[in-house]
Amino acid sequence: MTTTSTPLDKWEMHPRHFWLRGIRPEAPVEYDPEVGMWHVYGYPETLEILSDPATYSSEVAARYVSPEQAAVAFDGNLTQADPPEHQKLRKLVGRTFTLKMVAELESRIAALTHELLDRIEGDTFDLAEALAYPLPVIVICDMLGIPREDRELLKEWADQSLMASTQLTTHQGDKAQEESLDTQAEAAMAMGFYILELVTRRRAEPQDDLLSRLVEAEVDGERLTDRQIVNFANLLISAGHITTTMLLGNTILCLDAFPDVDRRVREDRSLVPTLLEESLRYLSPLAAGYRVTTRDVEIGGVKIPEGDVLEVWFSAANRDARVFQDPDVFDPARTPNPQIGFGRGIHFCLGAPLARLEGRVAMNILFDRFPRLRVDPDDKPTFLTSPEFTGVWRLPIRVN
Ligand code: HEM
């Protein structure tokens, strides 16, 4: 398949994401003095890092906040934990967040998608506001057992945290970074206090929800502490909503940019799951993750000293021509497609089955309800500003 345009030609995505414009990195791993970190762009190098947590630690947060703050804010946050703590936590939360539980949500997700789309009036609307944002938020809040009337509150905290997000640097005394981390910490703390109150109530009176199961979960006689439950719930709320919002938005952007793909998938709906995998590869919502070296290493032809931070670009690795044939072609039937938009190894996304289910159900319903769905030619989409994300903030759509 050949293509003549890419979504990037039409819209202003993050300038740092040069690989999305078909440009190849000069080296798979390179140092960036501006941010004081190593960028990892290559796929094999990324896999090497993700599969070796002993050498490439996830406990990066302590580099940016004080160790005391990190202990409070990240205890129970799987993404910031290394083995053996990570295994213990993942086992505990894995007991509560099962594949069966996710599969049972299908009809609820479909009903919710219809309900949200029924509210749309007129031929033009913001798809992020109407569907892509609220759907995953409602699903994760329902799972956790967060009352409906409190959703706006959570949205405010999550938005506050997202909008504050900027490119991290390892430079001490970076004012903009300090302010943005403070804003994020304030939002996380407000959400934390709110969740703690719910946890306390669940301890006294368990319900049929994820928070109650987290309170009761036990592995080898160990249970999660309140702080761990709060931080894990915080992670689920933030990881669980904005990423799936981006998956849906990015998929619509790709279909708009490649009308031949849109026609092909509408004619053969069995392609929806592989369309979503290709969307995760082509525009990976979580563009990057961080690791810190625990010893001197050599990777991608460069030597990296112990204690240095790596920004691992899943999004760039997903365009590596050493692994993906014609990486800049959007192919909804790409096989094989070993995309790493959900990461790999011990930190592989816990919510991947839920995100895939939400994506499949929502895309099928959008195809059913709107024979024509395109980005409004008179109104540009806007994008999340953080370079860690690739995704829409606003997605104006026209359906006539
Ligand atoms: C981890 C992406 C949806 C919860 C991750 C990682 C990636 C990712 C790349 C690994 C990060 C790393 O190794 O540093 C995505 C994308 C999503 C999505 C692209 C949607 C399209 C979700 C959802 C949930 C979720 C819906 C939960 C409701 C988590 C959790 C982890 C994680 C808890 C940490 C796992 C661990 O460290 O063991 N996600 N995610 N994610 N994700 Fe997702």
Give the atom of ligand 1 at the shortest distance from the alpha carbon of 356. 21
- 3-class SS shares of the chain: helix, strand, coil, % to 5: 50, 10, 35
Q: Residue range 345-356: average pLDDT?
A: 96
Give the atom of ligand 1 at the shortest distance from the alpha carbon of 246. 21
pLDDT at 187 over 90: no
Give the atom of ligand 1 at the shortest distance from the alpha carbon of 241. 26
Give the atom of ligand 1 at the shortest distance from the alpha carbon of 285. 19
Alpha-carbon span 60 to 49, nearest angstrom: 14
Q: Residue range 328-349: average pLDDT?
A: 97
Q: What percent of the chain has pLDDT over 70?
A: 93
Distance 235 CA to ligand 1 centre (A): 9
Mean pLDDT across the chain, nearest whole number?
A: 90
The pLDDT value recorded for residue 4 is 42
The pLDDT value recorded for residue 191 is 87
Residue nearest to atom 15 of ligand 1 (CA): 342
The pLDDT value recorded for residue 181 is 67
| Residue 52: pLDDT band with limits 50, 70, 90 | very high
Alpha-carbon span 292 to 302, nearest angstrom: 15
Distance 130 CA to ligand 1 centre (A): 23
| Residue 1: pLDDT band with limits 50, 70, 90 | very low
Phi, psi (5° rounding) for residue 2?
-115, 150
| Residue 7: pLDDT band with limits 50, 70, 90 | low
Indicate left, alpha or beta for 304 from its phi (over 0: left) and psi (-120 to 50: alpha). beta
Per-residue model confidence as pLDDT tens digits over 60-112: 987 777 777 777 778 888 999 999 999 999 988 888 888 998 999 999 999 99
Q: Say what angle helices 226-257 and 175-204 make with each other, to 10 degrees.
A: 120
| Residue 158: pLDDT band with limits 50, 70, 90 | confident
Distance 267 CA to ligand 1 centre (A): 31
The ipTM (two decimal places) reads 0.99
Distance 240 CA to ligand 1 centre (A): 7
pLDDT at 299 over 90: yes
pLDDT at 308 over 80: yes
Probe residue for ligand 1, chosen from 318, 349, 350, 354 as the CB with the greatest number of ligand atoms within 8 Å: 349
pTM over 0.95: no
Dihedral Cα 8, 13, 18, 20, nearest 10 deg: -40
Q: In what order do the strands lie in the sheet with 374-375?
A: 124-126, 396-398, 374-375
Per-residue model confidence as pLDDT tens digits over 221-252: 888 899 889 988 988 888 877 889 999 999 99
Residue nearest to atom 28 of ligand 1 (CA): 240
Distance 341 CA to ligand 1 centre (A): 9
Alpha-carbon span 103 to 106, nearest angstrom: 6
Enumerate the H helices of the chain as residue ranges. 7-10, 43-50, 67-74, 85-94, 99-103, 106-118, 127, 134-144, 151-164, 175-204, 210-216, 226-257, 259-267, 272-282, 314-317, 352-369
Residue nearest to atom 41 of ligand 1 (CA): 351
Distance 348 CA to ligand 1 centre (A): 7
Among 22-36, 75-89, 226-240, 276-290, whose mean pLDDT is lowest? 226-240
How many CB atoms lie under 10 A from the CB of residue 106?
13
Per-residue model confidence as pLDDT tens digits over 99-155: 998 999 999 999 999 999 999 999 999 999 999 999 998 999 999 999 888 888 887
The pLDDT value recorded for residue 177 is 63
SS3 292: strand
Probe residue for ligand 1, chosen from 243, 312, 388 as the CB with the greatest number of ligand atoms within 8 Å: 243
pLDDT at 271 over 90: yes
Distance 354 CA to ligand 1 centre (A): 10
Alpha-carbon span 286 to 340, nearest angstrom: 10
Ligand 1 binding residues, C-beta < 6 A? 78-79, 90, 140, 235-236, 239-240, 243-244, 247, 285-286, 289, 314, 341-343, 347, 349-351, 354-355
The pLDDT value recorded for residue 183 is 72
pLDDT at 371 over 50: yes
For the chain, report the end-to-end CA distance as a whole number of angstroms.
28
Q: What percent of the chain has pLDDT over 90?
A: 65
SS3 3: coil
